[in-house]
Structure 1
Amino acid sequence: MYDKNSPDATGETAGHTGWKGDQATIAANGFTNEGYTFQGWNTQADGKGMTYQKGDKLTLPAGTTVLYAQWKRIPGTLTWVKTDKDSGEVLAGSEWTLTPKDGQPTAITDNGELDQAGEDGAFKLTGLDWGEYELMETKAPEGHDPISAPITVTIDAKHTTVNIGDVSNAKTPAKVTYDPNGGEGQTPGYDGHVGDTPEASENKFTNKDECKEFAGWNTQKDGKGKTYQKGDQLDPLTGTTILYAQWKAKDGCPAAPAALQELGKTGAGITPIAIGMAAATLLGACLMILRRQRHARHA
């Protein structure tokens, strides 16, 4: 007789009835066991006895001979695809870890040694033991944010092949802001994503100093960075880019004293308050000199 040797197996395998010394032909397996493949028959349930395959001959001993089905777990297969959240485009270059419960993480890279998919952005892991796993993205494709929480995966008899489907990433935000750098008003910025290459905006700032005019944008306040003019294409964004307004003296305006030029380097106008303070300081110094002279005459 044949024993299914698993509480979850179903079906029937017809046995053989004969006499001691008869040659019985081993039957084909008629049982099914979800998540397992049939490996053959054995005279012991634990597989430590005599093994037989379909078509083998067995000389019947006296009494009843029981042959036990031998089962092997089907290894797990896990698949997923990395995509852009908005466009659905498949994204290459991500990296992951797969960690079994109470186990150590295994590193997985797109098109790496463990990835059997063979296509950019697609992943296929095979030969997985049964159990619970956590799949976590450790490096997102360029210009995208990684997922924020791990994905829980279970491999068991009913789930030997698990397809997670699309795992989507949002693009990493990036922006351009414009600094008046001594001017005033507002110049609208740009809100986009890492990797964008927007055009430099038209200047909307003004300068209180009528002898100052806009000279372009620069990545550094002192003008020692990269210069852009309206309509120039910026380098690919990596985060927040600040462009500082640059100001220059208008043609035909009288040159300011060196000290005042230094004060106005950033484009800030010389305000009446500043001029008044300078005049008051000069007047105070003159009064002090006059007092000393009068004191000297009376001495």
Structure 2
Amino acid sequence: MDKIILKGWTTSGLTSMDQMFARSGSRLLEVDLSGWNTRSLSSGQAAFPATLSVLHLGKDTRLDPSYFADEPSKGGAVESAGFTGHWIRSDGKWETETDDELGTDNEQLADLTNLRRFKGGTFGWQQFVEVSFEKNAPTGVEVSGDPVKVREVGFDASALKVVVPAPMFNAKNYRCSGWNTLANGLGAGYVQGSTITGLTRGTKMPLYAQWRSSSVPHTPVEPLPIRYKVRYVANAPTGLVATGSVPDDQFEVSPPFKGVNLLHYSHKVTASLYQVEGYRFVGWDLRADGGGASYQPGEEVLLMPGVTILYARWARSTTPISPLPVQYRVRYVANEPAGLSATGSVADDVFQVDPPFKGVDLLRRERATVENRYQVVGYRFAGWNSRADGTGASYIPGARLSLMPGVTTLYAQWAKPSSPVEPLPVEYRVRYVANEPAGLSATGSVADDVFRVDPPYKGSDLVNRARKVSGNSYVLDGYRFTGWNTKADGKGVSYRPGVEASLMPGVTTLYAQWAKVVAPSAPSIPAKPSPSVPSAASSASPLPRMAGDNGGLAKTGASIATMLFMSILLLVSASLLLLGRRNRSSNGRSNLVKR
């Protein structure tokens, strides 16, 4: 892993970043902390590995020089990798300076983040490209003038441009007609004012002066094809011999062409046919020690005219590719009052998360704080705190603590029995995480639900505190929200909005759960059964269909015609019944008259 993005996470309760990203063997290149507030950190010793070259920082991200495992060097490995050893902001408006009074490069970057006006930004090791202009004197001809090197620096080398200057050399009876990537003039050609672009970090490209006799009319020469060769070297581990072979990959670009078309020509890397007993092939690299650009078979490599060498990289067959377990450690410090010593001990609480895991599984890991075993004569234990002076986050034993990978330190707090200490309010926080499927991003937000229990209280008042779960405001195209869960993978306790959750003091994280929205299929039209006995309804002309009528009702299966027929039949029956009653009433009155 060479990049980790943590901008969506906060650092509430985090007190230490000691070696957080600089685990043994780490080759991490880029870290995004743009959403982090590191103001409350008490320690971050060697948090970043020596390989780190890009940092994304937020307005509340504060750095200290001790956070860096190493200072970017001037020259050496850093230079060979295409860096100058200075930090630069992505907009180019700030960079570290070579001035002992301003401190080292890491100290200058840390000082910048601690200014009140600091607004965050992206910072990286300054990259460079270099083009040198060589005399390339004709045989027996003396050329005056000194070779020139043009060096351009910036945040991203691919955006740098080198403009070819006017010829700076002179020779009797000769004139400089331009420049070429090859001394014999058969490479890519450039003239004064040409712009060289597309250079990669650390490129050092020589251009050779091309000379024409002033007394001989110039005869244009048809350019020859430009040849490229990729040589694959076995690069077996020391003392071992590789078997098999990988032939050179050769091709050429025929004229007509422009100089820019010849630089960084794209070509796919071939597969390895080498074998080393006890080792497995893990890819190709531009450097034998693995410190250059790495390529897998089938990936495209950018080539310069001439020969490019790729070295096979090997790993022992027993070496697993899967990531190592990630360890968490909660350190409990006695933190005795000045001049006193505590007895007893509290062991570090150490646990780990074994692969496979997702990045989200490693952040904000919850753990209950342990009971205190320290004793100080004349004092009573008053809880744990994330800072020694008690101004950080407070925790009673058993309260849940949100952890980041690495070491988190909690300090015992002490009070004299004779001077009772008013207990602090106990805070609860429910954090709602969007938990989008991989590769997707949700819109909207759900605010943390924060409340507290004020003293006086009993211990039983703080455990399993009931709180209604909030509704969802996240939106994810193509998905519907199905509820909240205490685990990102949905294997924890599930809650619907409005349902009461039982909370412990500290932070409880609930993860949104999603289901894909499936487009409804068109309802099937049931076949209309043929009546076994002819009736008036069956002999009647069918009713005309209305717009949108599908010939049936989805739930009952009865046709509209059948329903209308039954309605008419009921009306006729009711009319006959009413007519019969009227006749009986009329006959009754007639009988009375006769009598």
- Please confirm whether the aligned pair reaches a TM-score higher than 0.5, indicating the same fold: no
TM-score, reference length from structure 1: 0.35
TM-score, reference length from structure 2: 0.19
- Judging by fraction of residues, say which structure has more strand: 1
